[in-house]
């Protein structure tokens, strides 16, 4: 057995937003030493507090004991210098859905991460992995590891191998997500949207179009899916949780790949993003949120199960 067959113990996460913090928490709870890097110092300070609060909520729900909370907190470090990622065995990119920004980051990670066998992973929900892999000199080590939001609650992880991802990289990522993190793992070919968002984005956009056409109110659209189809939340509340800017970026990526009208972002979505109505993180989207950083009610219900 080589060192690269052993469990991954040193993880890096780039991005201290909702997804990055969720991924970092999951990895720390699994026993990994985690470094979170974000370009903004204020984001790292907020991130530490948000992860700590999330861990305490998990403890209150019986998911962790007090020792587990403190051990997870002790495994987490936050900073702004990418050089802190040099010794990582796995680095997960969780920055906004902007292909150019992600390509620049992967080129930087290629320079910073010392181990040529380290996995460079993207949490992108819609951008083909090959486009990011080819920004590096080690495309064989680049793979998609797409967590569902919120990562500490949702069990799904999508693994996406590009045409040049090595079988060893894919297998190591599968072992990490499935065995170390205890996630439900599925695989997808490297096409925009993968499995989950190729199904989910058109569904959500249908709800936006229905609202835009005046067919029903936002409340009634969501109630129809919650009360009539047993969904945990409706498409518009889900849009607010995802972030309308993230939804728009995913829809645009899917439309660019397939040119199918069902993937095109509706004008209402475009105008809301332009106006800064981004959902929960901005305090206003299809619905209003007094506390932009509050967790979704469905997430808290799931944590209590």
Active site (catalytic) residues: 125, 146, 158, 197
Give the orientation angle of helix 244-258 with respect to helix 196-212, to 10 degrees: 110
Could you give the dihedral angle defined by the CA atoms of residues 108, 38, 53 and 222, in that order, rounded to the nearest 10 degrees?
Answer: -80
Output Rg (C-alpha) for the chain, integer angstroms.
19
**How crowded is residue 169: how many other Cβ atoms within 10 Å of its Cβ?**
25
Opening angle at CA 17, ends 141 and 234, nearest 5: 105
Indicate the burial class of 204 (C-beta count within 10 angstroms; 0-12, 13-18, 19 or more): buried
* CA 35/CA 33 separation, integer angstroms: 7
Residue 244 near residue 205, CB atoms below 8 Å = no
Strand partners, 279: 284
CB contact at 8 A, 251 and 264: yes
Across-strand partners of 122? 93, 144
Q: CB–CB of 96/125 below 8 Å?
A: no
Helical spans, DSSP H, in 83-234: 99-112, 129-133, 167-175, 196-212, 218-229
Burial class (CB in 10 A: 0-12, 13-18, 19+), 117: middle
């Amino acid at each position: 057995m080589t060192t690269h067959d052993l469990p991954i113990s040193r993880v890096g996460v780039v991005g201290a937003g909702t997804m990055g913090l969720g991924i970092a928490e999951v990895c720390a709870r699994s026993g990994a030493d985690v470094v979170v890097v974000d370009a903004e110092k204020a984001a790292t300070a907020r991130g530490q507090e948000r992860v700590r609060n999330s861990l305490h909520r998990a403890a209150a729900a019986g998911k962790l004991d007090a020792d587990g909370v403190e051990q997870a907190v002790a495994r987490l470090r936050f900073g702004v210098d990418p050089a802190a990622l040099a010794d990582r065995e796995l680095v997960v990119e969780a920055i906004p859905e902007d292909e150019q920004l992600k390509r620049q980051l992967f080129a930087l990670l290629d320079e910073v991460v010392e181990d040529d066998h380290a996995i460079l992973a993207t949490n992108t929900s819609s951008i083909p992995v090959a486009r990011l892999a080819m920004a590096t000199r080690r495309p064989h080590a680049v793979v998609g590891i797409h967590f569902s939001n919120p990562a500490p609650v949702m069990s799904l992880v999508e693994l996406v191998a590009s045409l040049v991802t090595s079988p060893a990289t894919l297998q190591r990522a599968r072992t990490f997500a499935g065995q170390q993190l205890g996630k439900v793992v599925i695989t997808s070919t490297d096409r925009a949207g993968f499995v989950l968002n190729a199904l989910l984005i058109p569904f959500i956009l249908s709800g936006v179009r229905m609202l835009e056409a005046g067919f029903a109110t936002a409340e009634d659209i969501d109630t129809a899916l919650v009360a009539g189809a047993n969904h945990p939340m409706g498409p518009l509340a889900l849009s607010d949780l995802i972030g309308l800017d993230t939804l728009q970026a995913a829809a645009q990526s899917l439309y660019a790949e397939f040119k199918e009208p069902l993937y095109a972002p509706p004008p209402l979505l475009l105008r809301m993003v332009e106006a800064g109505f981004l959902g929960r993180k901005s305090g206003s989207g299809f619905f209003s949120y007094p506390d932009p950083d509050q967790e979704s009610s469905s997430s808290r219900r799931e944590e209590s199960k």
